[in-house]
Chains A and B, each alone.
Chain A
Amino acid sequence: MKMSASTLVIAGRIINQLVRDRRTIILIAVVPLVIASLVGVSVPDKSILDYTAPAILAVMILFFGFLLTGISFLRERSQGTLERLMASPVSRLDIVGGYLLGFLLFAVVQTMVLFFYLIYVIKVNYYGDLWQILVFQVLIGIGAVCMGTFFSVLAKNEFQMVQFIPMIIIPQMFLCGLLWPVSQMPEYLQWLANVLPMTYGVSGIRALMLQGQDLLDIGKEIGVLAAYAVGLLILSAITLRRGKG
């Protein structure tokens, strides 16, 4: 995707907007920590915590990224500012690209806060390279932001967007291998799990954190997540067409 000056202007505006909304910034940082703390104290067995924490991390990145982007993009539409942007010279790709960049910054910050909190406060053990784990988390964050953008383009109002949250996120939480290994699920559920991005997020982050593997070893997971991100971004731009009516 060619990045234009307008993409950066839109991304800058989103960052400005969120930075001025201090309560949201505090919530972005605090809510994942509260949930991570809850996980830390509710799982008494350290070995189970070490095994579960990477999957919870992946799920939370996807969930918070989806939520933040989805709601914000929808608000842009309900406030009428999206219509104003669509009447301007910016392209659809500028708009979704700007959203991706703007929210990615917050998704990455949230991911880092969550990860380091799990490692240094909750004392979760990991074996892989720190930078490789962080790079993969950013990729999950990109997927989450693209997914949030796409579904908020599809939703016509807040009620529909709220329904997308359980419809899109909760089935993925059950099927991604967080609660039960995908290989032990019924065959039709395995098939479903294998087309959902969170499954690849969880399997990739487990490979990096628990087995100490490299990014090169999880090419399939990276490929699927990247394909999802690019596909959803393009679909968002197509769906967000000018002259719709």
Chain B
Amino acid sequence: MPEKNFSGPAVAVDKLSFNYGRQKVLDELSLGVPGGISFGLLGPNGAGKTTLIRLLVGLLRARAGTILTLGRKPSPRIAHLIGYMPQLPSLYNELSVIQNVEFFARIYRLRDRKQRTQRVEEVIKLVDLWQHRNKSVTNLSGGMRQRASLACAIVHNPPLIFLDEPTVGLDPELRVHFWEYFQGLTASGSTLIISSHTMDDAAHCDRLAFMRDGNIIALGTPDELRQATGQAKATLEDAFLYFIKHGGVNENVG
């Protein structure tokens, strides 16, 4: 299993720009994420969250700027240290839950059969799908697919995990369950980078970056962001609106 004792920042991004054709998606974005925390990328649809995650994972190549994940440029060489859960629950529909998780365990180099079997069982139980392990993905509900997708992303116990909108479509009870599990992951030393557009998710993160129009408008802990508004009972939604209104581009309140 990959080690979790990286001393430097889990992610360091400097003046990152990216275009889809002529459309500018990220504009000189800079960001540092310390290890062992849950870091939320918060913003509306089209803010550039998914593009940023795809760049950090190495699925896209930056037009300008630098990216370091776990101290190295994103490449297949460090891919086994990274977990990635895409926005859609990208699974093989004909295969069962256990076959999907087993496949990703083997792809992520869990070669010892005994250890692999144990780990596959462990993560499927963790996402509460053990009783459904032999069901085809086609026969699962949306929430179950999300959970199976999460199991595939973490089966190799990576130190750095990217979760793109992991709680979309989940019922409130399951959402709470997911967050309990995410907190368990950070407690064990993993770094989580989670994109979301709901403020409910934001409140659970150790640190947040508010994103809008391809850039970060504010960085800090949820409390710091709320306090920056100057209102005693400000919510994170109020804080987000405050930073939009006051145009705090790249302002680090933390």
Pairwise interchain contact B90-A80, C-beta atoms closer than 8 A: yes
Contact between B59 and A242, CB atoms less than 8 A apart: yes
How far does the Cβ of B119 sit from chain A's closest Cβ, in whole Å?
Answer: 16
Which of A86, A87, A242 sits near B82, CB closer than 8 Å?
Answer: A87
Q: A244 is contacted by which of B61, B76, B90 (Cβ under 8 Å)? A: B61
Residues of B close to A16: CB separation below 8 A: 94-95, 99
Q: Give the size range of A's interface with the partner.
A: 20 to 34
- Assess whether A79 is in contact with B90, with CB atoms less than 8 Å apart: yes
Interface of chain B residues 136 through 168 with chain A (CB within 8 A): 136, 152
Known: A9-B103, A13-B95, A16-B95. A245 touches B61 (CB 8 A): yes
Beta-carbon nearest neighbor of B149 in chain A: A84
**Contact (Cβ within 8 A) B79 A85:** no
Contact A83 B59, beta carbon cutoff 8 Å: yes
Q: Which of A10, A20, A83, A89 contacts B79 (CB 8 A)?
A: A89
User: Beta-carbon contacts of B86-104 to A below 8 Å, as 1s and 0s?
Assistant: 1010111111000100011
Shortest distance in angstroms between A10's beta carbon and chain B's nearest beta carbon?
8
Contact of B107 among A21, A85, A245 (CB under 8 A): A85
Contact flag A245-B60 (CB < 8 Å), given A9-B106, A87-B79? yes
Whether B59 lies near A243 (C-beta < 8 A) is: yes
CB contacts (< 8 Å) of A42 on chain B: these are none
Tell me if A154 is interfacial: C-beta within 8 Å of chain B. Answer: no
Please, which residues of chain B bring their CB within 8 A of the CB of A239? none
Q: Which residues of chain B have C-beta atoms less than 8 A from A244's C-beta?
A: 60-61
Residues of B within 8 A of A243 (CB): 58-61
**Which residues of B are found within 8 Å of A194, using beta-carbon distances?**
none
Interface flag for A90 (CB, 8 Å): yes
Complex-state Cα separation, A87 to B57, whole angstroms: 6
Q: Mark A88-126, 1 if CB is under 8 A from B, else 0.
A: 111100000000000000000000000000000000000
The answer to whether B204 has its CB under 8 Å from any CB of chain A is no
**A191-245 residues at the B interface, CB under 8 angstroms:** 242-245
- B18 interface contact, C-beta 8 A: yes
Q: Please tell me if A17 contacts chain B, counting CB pairs below 8 Å.
A: yes
Q: How far is the CA of A87 from the CA of B18 in the complex (A)?
A: 19
A6 within 8 A of B: yes
Q: Which of B73-129 contact A (CB under 8 A)?
A: 75-77, 79-80, 82, 84, 86, 88, 90-95, 99, 103-104, 106-109, 111
Does A81 count as interface, using CB distance less than 8 angstroms?
yes
B51, closest chain A residue (CB)? A245
What is the count of residue pairs linking A and B with beta-carbon distances less than 8 angstroms?
A: 82
B92 touches which of A9, A13, A89, A90 (Cβ 8 Å)? A13
Please indicate the chain A residues that have their CB under 8 angstroms from the CB of B75 in the complex: 242
List residues of chain B with CB within 8 A of the CB of A242.
Answer: 58-59, 75-76
Taking the nearest CB of chain A, how far is it from the CB of B64, in angstroms?
Answer: 13
* CB <8 Å contact, A88 and B95: no
In this complex, how many residues of chain B approach chain A with their Cβ under 8 Å: the count is 33
Closest to B88 in A: A80
Q: A99 to B20: give the CA distance in the assembly, Å.
A: 29
**Chain A minimum-CB-distance residue to B153:** A84
A53 to chain B: closest CB distance in Å?
34
Residues of B within 8 A of A89 (CB): 76-77, 79-80, 107-109
User: Cβ of B136: which chain A residues have Cβ within 8 Å of it?
Assistant: 20
Name the one of A81, A83, A88 contacting B108, with C-beta atoms under 8 angstroms.
Answer: A88
Nearest chain B residue, comparing its CB with the CB of A88: B107
Are the CB atoms of A87 and B59 closer together than 8 Å?
yes
- Name the residue on A nearest B78 (C-beta): A89
CB pair A88–B94 under 8 Å, yes or no, is no
Please judge, given known A-B contacts A89-B79, A89-B109, whether A245 and B88 are in contact too, CB under 8 Å: no
Identity of the chain A residue whose Cβ is nearest the Cβ of B82 in the assembled complex: A87
Say how far B80's CB is from chain A's closest CB, in angstroms: 5
> Measured between C-beta atoms, what is the minimum distance from A31 to chain B in Å?
19
Given A9-B103, A9-B107, A86:B59 Cβ within 8 A: yes
Residue of A nearest to B107 (CB): A88
The 10 closest A-B pairs by CB, nearest first: A80-B90, A243-B61, A245-B60, A89-B79, A87-B84, A89-B80, A9-B106, A17-B94, A20-B94, A80-B88
Q: A81-B90, A89-B107, A91-B76 are in contact. List 13 more A-B contacts (CB 8 A).
A: A9-B103, A13-B95, A16-B95, A16-B99, A79-B93, A85-B107, A86-B59, A87-B59, A88-B104, A89-B80, A89-B109, A245-B54, A245-B60
